[in-house]
Chains A and B, each alone.
Chain A
Amino acid sequence: MSAPPATQIVGDLSGLPDSDSGPRHLVWWGNLGFMLIEGTGFALAIAAALFLWSRAPAWPPPGDAPPALLWSGLLTLGLFASGLPNGWVKRRALAKDAAGVRRGVLAMTVIGLALLAVRGFEIAALTPRWDKDAYGSAIWMLMLLHTSHILTDWGDTAVQAAWLYTHSIGDDQFADVEDNCNYWSFVIWAWVPLYAVVYWLPRLG
């Protein structure tokens, strides 16, 4: 039977800060982990759509029109434009500017809501239905995946805005705002391959 080993104190950690930002922060890595999971999900859903496309004699099948470009084009432009205020909020978070992140996260909530409205019109215009053929199933799957993404990040942003306005903001919460901005960037960039597969693959001929 043995006792725990004797110890020799070689340093003191009490002078360390109690938060940090960027990849030095623990939560940044957790956020990255969930982005990897969701990114893998997107990549596999795209691969599934491409698999069906490779097996289909025509894409879209005869009788189905390629999806309309108006609302999806507006959404794509809007998403990329939202990258600018999103980047600004992230810089305010890194500068630990409380008034800035409050205004910025609220603005991103409004922008997200507007984009969700555009996405609503986009989905309303999406043809054919998901149950008509595998082509329809594939494009609905990709659209629903990305929409659930916008929706969850919008919910997160809205709750964060409410919290920021009602509480005094600590360093960990500035890091949270930064993580939320990184996540929104992920939502923007994930849309690029999805947009290409849903809207332009059917137009390849």
Chain B
Amino acid sequence: MTERLAASWADPPGLKGFLFTVDHKRIAGRYIVTAMAMMALAGLLALDMRWQLSLPGMRRMGPQLFNESFALHGSTMLFLVSVPVMEAMALWLVPLMLGQRNMAFPRLSAFSYWLYLGGVLMLWVPHALGITPDLGWFEYPPLSGPGYSPGHRADIWAQMITFTEVAALAASVNVSVTILKLRPPGMTLPRMPLFLWAMLVASLMTIFALPAVMLATSMLIADRLVGTQFFAPAAGGDVLLFQHMFWFFGHPEVYIIFVPAVGFVSTIVETFCRRPVFGYPAMVLSILAIGTLAFGLWVHHMFAVGLPRLGNDFYTAASMTIALPAGLQIFCWIATIAGGRVRLALPMLWVLAFIVTFVIGGLTGVMTAAAPLDLQLTDTYFVVAHFHYVLVGGAIFPLLGAFTYWYPKATGRMLGERLGRLAFAAIVGGFNLGFFPMHILGLWGMPRRVYTYGPEMGWGPLNLLATFGSTVAVGGGLLFVANALWSLWRGLPAGANPWGAATLEWATASPPPAPSFAMVPVVDSLTPLWPGDAPLRVMTGLRDDRRELLVTSVVEALPLYRQKSPGPSAWPLVAALAVSVLFLGSIFTPWALIWGAVPVAVALTFWFWPHRPRARHGPLAARR
């Protein structure tokens, strides 16, 4: 790599570089660290709630604190951890897997992170001040409306959503355009790694799903702030409208979290079975099928609200249908494992834990998809067990597997194997010990969201077991983090491709230098780094005296032109600050939408202002 190329892509030193960077690796890194810190806080909240429920009649928490705890836990996990961390992994991985030097819109990546951080602060700073949302992670009206929720708890929750959803939408447009337009020559759509297919579909799902929740929460804020009547039955409004809009987003969101995990698992399985994933076309089609079907079954979250019978039947059928592509994927992975030379390294262990846990979660999903059974189980601990199996087993386990898999690439060092296995055993074992008993508690009738219960209910022993299991899992999480920190310092040097993997991110040094790749790789198969002996084919010709990316065609990835890529900039941060002022102000006065728009417009104008020579013709031309 030439010094000139490295200099063109280098960030300014110190704080300036930290604040103004548009390097996707740095931005994704802080995105991931922030999301992990949020996961740690949400985990501690969970442990606190488990402590309260471990025995009948505990007094660690009263009902209000319990309400606040589960609302904060759920909102943090869904809006500040699960979706952002998947976007962050894409921001880090997608350009590397494409052999590219940055995202399609580098400043948009930075803007996305700063707004996400705004969402984090929006929820947790008021919490520190004692103003915590207390109505769960979906805050239905009328409970969250002006009549029953005075003060600003509900507004804070609703506006936190606006922050994080704008951040996720910005990231999604960026990810999908990067995948469609920045593929290396030869990487046609049928030669695209499954992780990229998964992130493309997850990003498109985000684009179609997230506007629903933004609209719903904006309508809620309007009802609370300027007296609109969207959810007020006395004035022709309807509270179910909120539920429909929330779940039109909320159900696809589950898959927006799960589909990237499909990408992680497929990548890890391929590497550790030493063969391409079995049934590549079936895998791609099932990802597309999940992406489509996920939009047709939101009503299964509303079976208990009294909808027409035929509607319930339709959504029962639709909900069961999505088990088909999900099951197909499981079979493809099992076939790959069965037909490969399996190496049970740490990332592969996480994949095995994922398969077992996710299948259990999927089966209880098929159970609750049946409207009559759901009517019995809804709002019990059975549902709590089900969605933790799906979300933790289906997304967090693959995510932890992905961390262990790409950790050497990101840091240049191997993650400690022994401590890693210990953390793995504690997390997976503790999780199952903690959450499996909740199925039984739910079948026994223990409702979710109760802050305590009497000894006569007989729920004590299983609750104690659940608390014990959760404690072990949280301990495992701490071990995982400790291992990551220790290995950063003492881990074995990793080299470029320690796992002998097949995708392009392993063709550069670990950690990748600022421009990532010196030349543009050329791809002629799904596994460009296998067989290992042949040299990697590359193209030269991108300039090294300025930041440039190669833009290719959408289907065939034919080279089209060289796109100038922007360098470090203050404007994404300034724009995010201006947008934050607008969002924050609009909790208190609708006029914030007017005066708050002025700094936003100014920041965006500077952001997009092209730097070119002055005009030499026309009425406003520069005087010579």
Contact = CB atoms under 8 A, between A and B. Distances in A.
Given A36-B208, A134-B235, A24 B617 contact: no
Contact of B612 (A102, A138, A168): A168
Contact of A40 (B208, B509, B540, B613): B208
A205 B497 CA distance: 69
B229 A13 contact: no
Contact of B493 (A1, A30, A140): A1
B227 A131 contact: yes
Contact of A168 (B508, B609, B613): B613
23 contacts: A3-B496, A4-B507, A13-B520, A16-B541, A16-B550, A20-B560, A26-B563, A44-B211, A51-B241, A52-B238, A55-B236, A131-B226, A132-B229, A134-B230, A134-B235, A136-B228, A137-B219, A137-B230, A141-B230, A159-B608, A168-B612, A172-B564, A172-B610
Interface residues of A, number: 67
A16 B229 CA distance: 57
A124 interface: no
A130 B226 contact: yes
A189 to B, nearest CB: 18
Given A13-B550, A48-B245, A56-B236, 5 more contacts: A18-B562, A137-B237, A165-B615, A168-B612, A176-B610
Contacts of A165: 615, 618-620
A143 interface: no
Contacts of B601: 155
Interface in A40-92: 40-41, 44-45, 48, 51-52, 55-56, 61
A166 B169 CA distance: 33
A1 B492 CA distance: 9
B212 interface: yes
Interface in B234-252: 235-238, 241, 244-245, 248
A102 B219 CA distance: 40
A159 B605 contact: yes
Nearest first, the 3 A-B pairs at minimum CB distance are: A13-B541, A33-B173, A14-B541
Contacts of A98: 617
A168 B616 contact: yes
B211 A41 contact: yes
Contact of A3 (B495, B538, B539): B495
B124 to A, nearest CB: 27
Contacts of A99: 617-618
A26 B226 contact: no
B516 to A, nearest CB: 11
Given A18-B564, A36-B208, A137 B229 contact: yes
Contacts of A184: none
B410 interface: no
B26 interface: no
A135 interface: yes
Nearest to A6: B535
B37 interface: no
A146 B85 CA distance: 33
B207 A33 contact: yes
A30 B244 contact: no
Interface string A148-187: 0000000100010001011111101100100000000000
Contacts of B237: 52, 133-134, 137
A9 B227 CA distance: 66
B244 to A, nearest CB: 7
Contacts of B192: none
Q: Give the size range of B's interface with the partner.
A: 35 or more
Nearest to B212: A44
B540 A134 contact: no
A204 interface: no
A4 to B, nearest CB: 4
Contacts of A26: 104, 177, 181-182, 551, 563
B105 interface: yes
Contacts of A16: 541, 550, 559-562
B618 A1 contact: no
B261 interface: no
A37 B232 contact: no
A132 B237 CA distance: 11
Interface in B530-554: 532, 535-543, 548, 550-551, 553-554
B392 to A, nearest CB: 29
Query: Among B222, B248, B542, B615, which residue has the most Cβ atoms of chain A within 10 A?
Result: B615
A134 B236 contact: yes
Interface in A6-33: 6-20, 23-26, 29-30, 33
B539 A13 contact: yes
B560 A166 contact: no
Nearest to A170: B612
A25 B553 CA distance: 9
B498 interface: yes
Given A8-B536, A134-B230, A166 B614 contact: yes
A94 to B, nearest CB: 16
Interface in B553-607: 553-554, 559-564, 601, 605
Given A6-B536, A26-B181, A20 B551 contact: yes
A131 B539 contact: no
Nearest to A12: B541
A135 B236 contact: yes
A173 B182 CA distance: 20
Given A133-B229, A165-B620, A173-B610, A2 B498 contact: yes
A17 B244 CA distance: 49
B10 interface: no
Nearest to B214: A41
Nearest to A102: B618
B305 to A, nearest CB: 14
B211 A37 contact: yes
B529 interface: yes
A140 B617 contact: no
B522 interface: yes
Nearest to A40: B211
Contacts of A37: 169, 173, 207, 210-211
A144 to B, nearest CB: 9
B492 to A, nearest CB: 8
A34 B562 contact: no
B399 interface: no
B294 to A, nearest CB: 15
Interface in B101-153: 104-105, 108
Interface in A111-147: 130-138, 140-141
B215 A48 contact: yes
B613 A167 contact: yes
A135 B507 CA distance: 59
A62 to B, nearest CB: 11
Contact of B542 (A13, A51, A137, A140): A13
